[in-house]
Amino acid sequence: MASEDQTPNSTAAEQNGHSVWARFVRLMRYRLVVPILRARHEPEFTARGVLVGVAFGLTPTVGIQIPIVLVIWAAVKALLPKWNFNLIVALAWVWLSNVFTLVPLYFGFLITGRIMMGHAESLPGYASFSNELTAALAVEADGVSGFLQQTENLFDLYGVPMLLGCVPWAVFGGWISYVWTAAYLRRRQRLAAAKRRARGEAEDMFG
C-alpha cells in the first residue's frame, strides 16, 4: 500500500524535474545558441566572440565578467582591429557561469588546481564545498566592491588552487568553442548556399 501511495508522488517529482531541466535547456539555448544563429558576420568573427565569452565564463570572475569583456573588446577594436570579435555573442557566452552552473564550475576549478599543484590527496567533498562557496559569495556589496569582497573570501578559503585551476578550463574551453563555432557556422553557410542554388536551378528549370 505504501508503494502505491509513493508512486504518484515520485512520478510528479520526476515530471517536475524533467520540466525544470527542459526549461533550463531552453533558457541555455536562448541565451547561448540563438545569438550565434542571429549573427550576420563571418564565422570567425562570431567564433572569436564565443571564445572570449567562454574563456571568461570559465573563470571565477562572476560579477565583473561583462565589464571585463567590454574593456577587452574596446582595446582589441582600437589596437588589433583584425582580431575584433562579436561583442553581443561574447557577452551572451559569459553567462556560461550562472546561478545554475556556478558551484560545479568553481568546484572543478578548485579540484583542477589542487591536482596541478600535486595535492590530489586533499580534495574537498562537493557538499561541503557548495556550502562554503555559498557563504563566501554572500556579501552585501554590489559591483566592483562586491566582487573584490567575494574574491577575498574565495582566496581566504581556497587560495591559489582555484585561480590556477581555472586557467586550463578557460584556455581549452575557449579554443574548443572557437573551433566548434567556426566549423558549425561554415557548415550552415554551405547548406544555405546549396539550398539557394537548388532553388535557383529549380526556378530556371520550371520557370
Q: List, as one string, the DSSP characters of 14-74.
A: HHHHHHHHHHHHHHHIIIIIHHHHH--S-HHHHHHHHHHHHHHHTSS-TTTHHHHHHHHHH
Over the range 169-182, which residues count as b (16 or more CB within 10 Å of their CB) and which as e?
A: bbeebbeebbeebb
pLDDT for 167: 96
Give pTM, 2 decimals.
0.80
Domain presence at residue 21: no
Q: How far is CA 197 from CA 41, 190, 207, in A?
A: 21, 11, 15
pLDDT band, very low/low/confident/very high, at 47 (cuts 50, 70, 90): very high
Domain presence at residue 159: yes
Domain that holds residue 124: 39-192
Domain presence at residue 145: yes
118-135 pLDDT, tens digit per residue, is: 888 878 899 998 998 888
Scanning the structure block, which residue is given the C-alpha cell 558576420?
Answer: 41
Total domains, the chain: 1
Domain presence at residue 164: yes
User: Of how many residues is the chain composed?
Assistant: 207
d(CA 26, CA 31): 9
Domain presence at residue 16: no
Domain presence at residue 109: yes
pLDDT for 63: 75
Domain presence at residue 204: no
**Sign for the pseudo-dihedral over CA of 26, 27, 30, 31:** negative
Q: 104 is written with which cell numbers?
A: 560545479
Which is nearest to 176 in space by CA: 25, 46, 47?
47
DSSP, res 82? G
Amino acid found at 133: L
pLDDT for 143: 67
15-24 pLDDT, tens digit per residue, is: 565 677 788 7
Domain presence at residue 143: yes
Compute, in degrees rounded to 10, the torsion defined by CA atoms 118, 152, 172, 111. 40
